[in-house]
């Protein structure tokens, strides 16, 4: 038996007039998300604090009408949260596992989200013509892998936003050589305010000029 999490007061603050949509998504995660093995049963009571609010913290880094690709969406974190919080965004959720893309498509339909496309594939298999303004991810892969999956999907000047835990600064330091090889414009770990704490995100910007190169000089792992 799974229980529906109560809606905290802060949901209205974070999701504005779309808070009920966020509540329906939280219900879906707490019920079918758990029974279908997409979310651990212990996560159900802490869905808002640990998952929805943490993911929603990214909205302040997203420009109006941005095209966002969320890689390794799983049950829709952060992709569906962003689509709910910001109807101006266009989201592509990239997830290789059928069980998860089935859930994502059903969630999109049930929540009547018109700004989401679900793609069943591995991020590294997407065509080079694929271009978006921002690539998001949470708990998907170590930074060197994320760079090699995310940067090719970005338009020049676009940003990769990877939600990470407290190890973000260490991950950045250890990936120094990868960042240099990809010749990124900038890379930093940022703490952004989130309800119930702070969210840590690694922000990597791709160069404006593709001629100066975004592809690594050697050792490219695609």
Ligand X SMILES: C[S@@+](CC[C@H](N)C(=O)[O-])C[C@H]1O[C@@H](n2cnc3c(N)ncnc32)[C@H](O)[C@@H]1O
Binding site for ligand X (CB under 6 A): 71-74, 77, 94-97, 100, 122-124, 138-140
Q: Which is nearer to ligand X, 61 or 185 (CB)?
A: 61
**Shortest distance, position 154 Cβ to ligand X, whole Å:** 15
Q: Which is nearer to ligand X, 56 or 94 (CB)?
A: 94
**Shortest distance, position 28 Cβ to ligand X, whole Å:** 14
Please answer whether residues 68 and 92 qualify as being in contact, where contact means their C-beta atoms are separated by less than 8 angstroms.
yes
How many contiguous H segments (helices) and E segments (strands) does the chain have? 10, 7
**Shortest distance, position 212 Cβ to ligand X, whole Å:** 27
**Shortest distance, position 211 Cβ to ligand X, whole Å:** 28
Cα angle for residues 177, 179, 182 (degrees, 5° grid): 110
Residue 146 CA to residue 151 CA, distance in Å, equals: 8
Please answer whether residues 137 and 71 qualify as being in contact, where contact means their C-beta atoms are separated by less than 8 angstroms.
yes
Q: Which is nearer to ligand X, 8 or 78 (CB)?
A: 78
**Shortest distance, position 17 Cβ to ligand X, whole Å:** 26
Q: List, in order, residues 6 or more apart from 22 with CB less than 8 Å away.
A: 11, 14, 15, 52, 81, 84, 85
Q: Which is nearer to ligand X, 86 or 138 (CB)?
A: 138
List b or e across 115-134, with b for residues whose CB sees 16 or more CB atoms inside 10 angstroms.
ebebbeeebbebeeeeebbb
Q: Which is nearer to ligand X, 141 or 185 (CB)?
A: 141
């Amino acid at each position: 038996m799974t229980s529906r999490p109560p809606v905290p007061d802060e949901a209205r603050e974070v999701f504005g007039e779309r808070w009920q949509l966020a509540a329906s998504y939280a219900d879906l995660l707490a019920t079918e998300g758990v029974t279908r093995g997409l979310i651990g049963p212990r996560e159900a009571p802490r869905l808002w604090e640990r998952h929805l609010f943490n993911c929603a913290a990214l909205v302040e880094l997203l420009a109006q009408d941005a095209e966002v690709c969320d890689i390794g969406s799983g049950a829709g974190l952060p992709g569906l949260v962003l689509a709910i919080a910001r109807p101006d965004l266009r989201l592509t959720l990239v997830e290789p596992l059928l069980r998860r893309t089935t859930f994502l498509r059903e969630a999109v339909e049930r929540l009547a989200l018109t700004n989401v496309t679900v793609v069943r594939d591995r991020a590294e298999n997407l065509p080079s013509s694929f271009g978006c303004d921002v690539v998001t991810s949470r708990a998907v892969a170590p930074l060197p892998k994320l760079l090699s999956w995310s940067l090719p999907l970005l338009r020049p000047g676009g940003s990769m936003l990877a939600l990470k835990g407290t190890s973000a600064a260490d991950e950045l330091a250890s990936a120094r050589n990868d960042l240099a090889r990809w010749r990124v414009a900038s890379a930093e770990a940022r703490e952004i305010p989130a309800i119930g704490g702070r969210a840590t995100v690694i922000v990597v910007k791709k160069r404006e000029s593709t001629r100066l190169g975004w592809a690594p000089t050697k050792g490219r792992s695609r």
